[in-house]
Amino acid sequence: MKGKMLELKNLLKEKALEIRTTRQDYKQAQRDFEWSKSNSLLGDMEDLVHLYRSHHIAYSEMRGRTRDQIETPREGNEPDEIWIENIKAEYTEPVEEVDEEALRISA
């Protein structure tokens, strides 16, 4: 696996763990009737889920999956296409330019 793809995969793993722990903290805050903490954690969790979803879609598309294979969102819950394209651009390995003259000489 390429360096930037591995970096993106590790980021997804970290965010998934962060979502799980935030969700557990949120549920515990609800059980303890800590409403201000609960509301704060809910906002944090929504941000994390949105971030994870966008990165997951970008990662999967970079690996060759189609959008239909990745997810089928409900109406009004479409992913942020601009953000996904920016993520893909950030994690795409730059392609080295090939010197065609050197290729012709060596062939």
Looking at the domain assignment, is residue 106 inside a domain? no
CA-based nearest residue to 56, from 14, 90, 19, 8: 8
**DSSP alpha helices (H): ranges in the chain?**
3-31, 35-62, 67-70, 81-91, 100-106
Looking at the domain assignment, is residue 27 inside a domain? yes
Looking at the domain assignment, is residue 49 inside a domain? yes
Taking the C-alpha atoms of residue 28 and residue 26, their distance in angstroms, rounded to an integer, is: 5
Looking at the domain assignment, is residue 105 inside a domain? no
Looking at the domain assignment, is residue 11 inside a domain? yes
In this structure, what token pair is assigned to residue 44? 């944090």
User: pLDDT in tens for each of the 107 residues of the chain?
Assistant: 578 899 999 999 999 999 999 999 999 999 999 888 889 999 999 999 999 999 999 999 999 999 999 999 899 999 999 999 999 999 987 666 666 665 566 55
This prediction has a pTM of 0.79
Q: Any idea which residue has 């971030």 for tokens?
A: 51
Looking at the domain assignment, is residue 107 inside a domain? no
In this structure, what token pair is assigned to residue 77? 């819950």
Total domains in the fold of the chain = 1
Identify the pLDDT of residue 95.
63
Looking at the domain assignment, is residue 98 inside a domain? no
Q: Give how far Cα 42 sits from Cα of 1, 46, 56, Å.
A: 35, 6, 21
Looking at the domain assignment, is residue 31 inside a domain? yes
Domain that holds residue 22: 3-92
Burial class (CB in 10 A: 0-12, 13-18, 19+), 58: buried
